[in-house]
Amino acid sequence: MDTKRGTPRPGTVRIVYDPEAPSSEKQRWRPVTSLIRKVCAEQGIRLGRVHLHYHPDGVHTLPDSHPHGEAEYWGKTIFLCTADKDTALHEIAHVWTKSWHSPKWAEAYLYLCEQYMRHEEFIENIKKNASKYAVVRHALKRIYGIVIKDESKGTQRASAQQRAGGRVRS
């Protein structure tokens, strides 16, 4: 078991369900929680806790409306609002690389997507993310030789939010 706070062993991820959530939520999250445990065990990623948010109507209704996922990599903790693979791998890559949207993060994120998604799923996903994050676009070009054009300026907003402190936008 974990002997020191902050240094969880690979594969010993603690899943924390929202206390407001009905028991059926566990079932809904199962594919994602299984994936998270598998990824951390296989890649030796020291992820401590995963907080799963409950959004009854599928939207963010909280007053402090937050993005689909967040990472506090210094605390080895991630927060997920949506039960999809992409968000989980995105946030795990923050913890793994101890960084925000850095080139190192982008490489780790793409590696995880490549390893844990089906090919068609991987292609569809990276296209979407490349248009959202310049750092992913650059890593795709560098590592895979894939060129995807810039379709948004979303990364500038994300950087400003990171500088403002605290958690990072998904």
Number of residues that bind Zn ion (CB under 5 A): 3
- The Cα–Cα gap between 47 and 29 comes to 17
Nearer to Zn ion, 53 or 132 (CB): 53
Cβ neighbours for 69, distance < 8 A, ≥ 6 positions apart? 78, 79, 80, 81, 82, 87, 88, 90, 91, 170
Shortest Å distance, C-beta 125 to Zn ion: 14
- The Cα–Cα gap between 27 and 97 comes to 30
Shortest Å distance, C-beta 2 to Zn ion: 25
Residue identified by tokens 């991820």 is 13
Stretch that binds Zn ion, among 35-43, 124-132, 145-153, 162-170 (CB under 5 A): 162-170
Nearer to Zn ion, 81 or 110 (CB): 81
Residue identified by tokens 């993005």 is 67
Nearer to Zn ion, 2 or 56 (CB): 56
53 binds Zn ion (CB under 5 A): yes
81 binds Zn ion (CB under 5 A): yes
CA–centroid distance for 86 within its chain = 7
The contact set with Zn ion (CB under 5 A) reads 53, 81, 168
